[in-house]
Amino acid sequence: MLVLGIESSCDETAAAVVDDSGLVHSEIVRSQVALHAPYGGVVPELASRDHMKGITLVIRQALARASVDFGGVQGIAVTSQPGLSGALLVGVQAAKGIAWARDLPIVAVDHLVGHLLAIFLRRPTDGSTAVPSYPFVALLASGGHTAIYRVDGPALSQIRELGATRDDAAGEAFDKVAKAIGLGYPGGPIVDRLAAQGDAARFPIPAPMARRDSLEFSFSGIKSFVARYVAEHGKPQTPAEVADLCAGFQRVVVQSLVTKTIRAALSEGVTTVVLSGGVAANRELRRAAADACARVGLSLAVPPLASCTDNAAMIAYAGALRLARGERDDPSFRTATHTALLRVTRKGRGPRAA
Ligand code: KG4
Ligand code: ZN
């Protein structure tokens, strides 16, 4: 079964044609990074307008590259939540329009479920990468979300949050720290690159939420540490100082992500850990997770970079699994800014759950 996937929840306009085995027949990602870069973050209204500009072209390109037309796909999958309202609406209205005009079944996909299932995508150019089997524990770290899940299967009811960030997402912290230091946007890939040359021990940033039993994260304190440093000392002047600050920051974020993910996997008794979301592109995270998993006998599955950052292939695949089972959504479904997954972590300060 071939499915057209559409993604417009944040700052990528994307479309892909994927089958229900996870094979990617085509994928197009039109990034808005250059549009938002001058502002150091995503400007929602600009994002919506640019999705409007690009959506038709992106869908046409994805179909053309897969050598199919609308008659050649058996269903449409579109991100309906979570994301920016105006941005989501563009993809959802395009998808509903196509489904109505072509009499195709349509399913609404939760963006986070897409990220969690991205590990199952295969591209014709991939080598023989082993795919994990259920159940697994997944770290999802992106610009908007950071949480650990137990994944027993692809359905919403089979995915359980074990712990999430109480404040900033990990990617958001990367972006804000890069902005504070005066680096570009998005900050994650830049910090990743600069940290490789830095000395992480020069700025010993305290580890957040280090309580052994907690699977929750907090990244706002680390971000504030860097902001305070810049307020007191000015922006780092030398390349070495920039690199050391990036390395110190990245080290605590990565250690926090890895330590808690491993703890979750061990306490859930699963054998496999999966990384997902844009921050899973981080090289130190990939390396540290591999080392930590090897030490305790867990196997680690890491998607290729194109599957980590936002894309429509993961949405098409998540939707294809439902469509292949004969499921479909009533085309009156709505968008939402929050995820459909059950959340257990309380945001903000205040008493923590035991
Ligand atoms: O999953 P994603 O593409 O979009 C969201 O759903 O948010 O994630 C984007 C986030 C951004 O915050 C970006 O800075 C971060 O992922 N990111 C990285 C790296 N590449 C992207 N963070 C750290 N290291 C990277 N190499
Ligand atoms: Zn995402």
Whole-number Å distance between alpha carbons of 34 and 256: 31
Q: Which protein residue has the closest C-alpha to ligand 1 atom 16?
A: 278
Residues 6+ apart with CB under 8 A from 166: 209, 216, 217, 218, 345, 346, 347, 348, 349
Ligand number nearest to the C-alpha of 309: 1
Full-model pTM: 0.95
Digit-coded pLDDT (tens) for 259-312: 999 999 999 999 999 999 999 999 999 999 999 999 999 999 999 999 999 999
pLDDT at 207 over 90: no
Ligand 1 neighbours by CB, cut-off 6 Å: 10, 142-144, 171-172, 174-175, 186-189, 192, 277-279, 281-282, 309-310
Whole-number Å distance between alpha carbons of 69 and 102: 11
- Could you tell me whether strands 2-7 and 146-151 are parallel, antiparallel, or unpaired per DSSP bridges? unpaired
Q: What is the CA radius of gyration of the chain?
A: 20
Residue 345: alpha-carbon gap to chain centroid: 18
Cross-strand partners of 196 = none
H or E element, residue 247:
helix 239-268
Cross-strand partners of 76 = 4, 106
Residue 309's φ and ψ, nearest 5 degrees, are: -80, 170
Cα(332) to centroid of ligand 1, in Å?
A: 32
Burial of 191 (0-12, 13-18, 19+ CB in 10 A): buried
**Which of 122-126, 178-182, 293-297 is predicted with the least confidence, judged by mean pLDDT?**
122-126
Ligand 1 atom nearest to 170, measured from its CA:
12
Digit-coded pLDDT (tens) for 65-84: 999 999 999 999 999 999 99
- Which ranges in the chain belong to alpha helices (H)? 33-36, 44-65, 85-102, 111-117, 170-181, 187-195, 220-233, 239-268, 283-296, 305-308, 313-324
Ligand number nearest to the C-alpha of 278: 1
Ligand 1 atom nearest to 145, measured from its CA:
7
Segment 132-149 shows an average pLDDT of: 97
Residue 126's φ and ψ, nearest 5 degrees, are: -65, 150
In this predicted structure, what is the pLDDT of residue 89?
98
User: Are residues 133 and 104 in contact, defined by beta-carbon separation less than 8 angstroms?
Assistant: no
Q: Which protein residue has the closest C-alpha to ligand 1 atom 23?
A: 188
Cα(87) to centroid of ligand 1, in Å?
A: 18
Whole-number Å distance between alpha carbons of 189 and 186: 7
In this predicted structure, what is the pLDDT of residue 54?
98
Q: Which protein residue has the closest C-alpha to ligand 1 atom 14?
A: 188
Ligand 1 pocket mutation pick from 31, 257, 309 by most atoms within 8 angstroms of CB? 309
Q: In the 8-state DSSP scheme, what is residue 124?
A: T
Cα(35) to centroid of ligand 2, in Å?
A: 18
Ligand 1 pocket mutation pick from 36, 174, 183, 339 by most atoms within 8 angstroms of CB? 174
In this predicted structure, what is the pLDDT of residue 126?
81
Ligand number nearest to the C-alpha of 142: 1
Token couple for 4 = 């057209």
Residues 6+ apart with CB under 8 A from 149: 116, 137, 138, 140, 159, 160, 161, 162, 341
Whole-number Å distance between alpha carbons of 17 and 27: 6
- Ligand 2 ion: residues within 5 Å (CB): 142, 310
Amino acid present at 195: A
Ligand number nearest to the C-alpha of 141: 1
Nearest 5°: the CA angle 58, 62, 68 is: 135
Cα(146) to centroid of ligand 2, in Å?
A: 10
Cα(300) to centroid of ligand 2, in Å?
A: 20
User: Are residues 304 and 126 in contact, defined by beta-carbon separation less than 8 angstroms?
Assistant: yes
Segment 122-142 shows an average pLDDT of: 89
Helix axes 85-102, 44-65, angle to 10 degrees: 30
